[in-house]
Amino acid sequence: MRVIPRLRGWRAVLALGAGAALALSYPDFDLPLLGWFAVAGLIYCSLGAGIRHAAACGLLFGLIFYTLTLPWIYTVLREYGPLPAWQAAALLVLLALAGSVFFALFTALLAWHSRGSERLALLAAPFLWVALEFLRTHLPDIGFPWNLLGYTASDNLPLLQLSSLTGIYGLSLLVAAYNALLIWFLLSIIRTTSRSKGHPLATPPALLWLVATVALIAVALLGTPLIPEAEPTHVAHLVQTNLPQSMSYQPDWDAVHAADMDELERITTAAGQARPGLVIWPEVPAPFSLQQAAFAQRAARIARESQSHFLLGIVHWKSSAGRLRPFNSAALLDTAGLESLVYDKIHLVPFSEYIPGRDWLWFASDLTALVSDFSSGTQYAVGRLPGGRFSVVICYEAIFPDLVRRFVGDGAELLINISNDGWFGRSSALAQHVAMARVRAAENRRWLLRDTNTGQTVSVDPYGRIVARLEPATRGVLDAPYAFRSDTTLYTRWGDWVAWLSAGVTIALLLAARRSQSNLPAGASNKKDETDDS
């Protein structure tokens, strides 16, 4: 008896529904519980399917998932390109298809696994999922670990603490494993009921699923009081500049926005004078450069008169490979207004700060002409403030776990994330971005100060709690508590060991499945799984 039917339309509908359900688990839909069930649908429609059909299901899953979670990409391209609607839509579809390849590979390999054993396929599923997430993160130039599966569990504070041991990939493994266990449980019920052999809840898969469910609920509901309260010792003043976003800036920008700049200088200086220490401006929201005399004088004046160290985003021009190149950078001025640190952004945003494969995008000539052409930094800079050491990650860099871990491993006792999320308007990108940054704080047990142009500007404690927040789309100053910490988590020390382990297990199980299938007579696939799971 075959439990998994070969119904092409049925599988396609299930894949689309699963992709939509997973998308709904992220901001701004905010239904994270769906993440614990959505991938189960994708797994179920892969078992017993033909490899090509399974891969098509993965593509459908990915297309609906990315369309629902990344619509802000279309908005950015339309509003700030400004690209024609067809070009913006084509690029969004292209990006969705590129991301969907990983889901297609997941379903195809799972279908191949299930030819020999459904149970082996279910065992392989969570490790395969994490291995592919790891690959998606580390693709040269175009790695895009946005909305990994583990982030659906990260909003629960007790579960989030697992990341200090395993990183985000441990949370992804946990959620993926629960989805695979759910399918094993459902298959055991179907088979036991159809054969009238014992109570369906008495099978090992059912009992294991019940134990796992009770344990997860207990940790999620009862674990919060066990998490320590982090004690801040300092206050930083995070200035949300709320400057208008533009793809390019006219030569008289300074004169047109003189009132804005005067107001920003006034509120920054006042905040520092009230409690001297550290004032921060976001990733460059306008043509700011310390190599422009007028702006450099203003920045130095803010540092001196606020009696504070002043960290701000700038465009940093310097000679590289025989020519003058721009870098997206952060600079720290000391209380005398002198430059004490410059960090050049290492991981640039594809299709925003540079164009990967520029020559191949013939249909998006408008985009390639408008996108910035920044150069990438190479140094993991660690700076000093009164009380400890810190590092800056700029915008998109906060979604790369290993990059942030490198800063902490090099001695950073405080993390500062400056970003210009003004490109995203009031879209879900703002909430998705800060959700990922929260996990970097918990992974490394560091306070994280996040200052943005338009939101979300927050202070995050070392356990991932948001302890202070400024209303988006407003100009103002957030008095953000923080402290320096020098302890080292297992994740900081060992890095992405869960991802490497998953890759190793995936390869081992693929080899085992190949050996098992080569020993089966023709037509014997899945026979062993038609036996009672008990």
| Residue 234 three-state SS | strand
**Residue of 283, 397, 413, 443 marked active site:** 283
**Are 292 and 254 contacting, i.e. CB atoms less than 8 angstroms apart?**
no
Task: Report the C-alpha gap between 235 and 482 in whole angstroms.
Answer: 6
Give 339's strand partners.
333
Q: Where are the extended beta strands (E) located within 189-253? A: 234-240
395 is catalytic: yes
Helix 71-80 / helix 85-116 crossing angle, nearest 10 deg: 160
The pair phi, psi for residue 422, each rounded to 5°, is: -65, -25
The pair phi, psi for residue 400, each rounded to 5°, is: -105, 105
Task: Report the C-alpha gap between 264 and 245 in whole angstroms.
Answer: 16
Cis peptide bond prior to 386, omega within 30° of 0: no
Task: Report the C-alpha gap between 184 and 188 in whole angstroms.
Answer: 6
**Are 499 and 133 contacting, i.e. CB atoms less than 8 angstroms apart?**
yes
* Distance in angstroms between the alpha carbons of the first and the last residue of the chain: 16
How many other C-beta atoms are found inside a 10 Å radius of the C-beta of residue 92? 21
Tokens 């910490």 identify what position?
Answer: 485
Q: Name which of 412, 422, 417, 415 is nearest 434 in CA terms.
A: 417
**Residue of 133, 345, 353, 413 marked active site:** 345
Task: Report the C-alpha gap between 271 and 311 in whole angstroms.
Answer: 14
Q: Name which of 190, 146, 154, 157 is nearest 171 in CA terms.
A: 154
Q: Name which of 480, 414, 455, 451 is nearest 239 in CA terms.
A: 451
**Are 87 and 39 contacting, i.e. CB atoms less than 8 angstroms apart?**
no
**Structure token pair of residue 233:** 């010792």
Spatial CB neighbours of 159, under 8 Å, sequence gap ≥ 6: 153, 171, 174, 216, 219, 220, 223
Task: Report the C-alpha gap between 102 and 463 in whole angstroms.
Answer: 31
One-letter amino acid identity for 49? A
One-letter amino acid identity for 461? D
How many other C-beta atoms are found inside a 10 Å radius of the C-beta of residue 169? 28
**Residue of 118, 395, 397, 413 marked active site:** 395
Catalytic residues, which ones?
283, 345, 395
